Amino acid sequence: MEWIILPRQGGKTTRAVKLAAERYAYIVAADAQRVEHIASVAKKAGLDIPFPITFAEFMSGRFHRRGIKASIIEDVDELLCRMAGGVPVMAATATGE
């Protein structure tokens, strides 16, 4: 798993879009507004990506899997906070190489 960790307005979404284009991966975002923003970034960059999906669509399985090679979670810290009912998540662990 690859992590994209940059400050606010540091280019995280642009890097995620480029990665999604390289690997034909879904980008999963917190809400429809972020989905539209991500789609706009991809269009402006001239990159072909699967149309981004919301976290709700991702969790419910309401998306097409055919041809999709992976997924990229946009702003995972924000999603975890929302999942925790607005309570800030102090730390998280991940298994990786």
pLDDT tens-digit map of 35-93 = 999 999 999 999 999 999 999 999 888 888 887 889 999 999 889 998 899 898 999 88
18, two tokens: 């480029």
Domain boundaries, the chain: 12-83
DSSP assignment letter at 61? T
Taking a C-beta distance cutoff of 8 angstroms, is the pair 79, 30 a contact?
Answer: yes
Confidence of residue 15 (pLDDT cuts 50, 70, 90): very high
Count CA atoms closer than 13 A to 53's CA, side-chain side.
18
Quote the pTM value.
Answer: 0.86
68 contacts 24 by C-beta, under 8 angstroms: yes
| One-letter amino acid of 64 | H
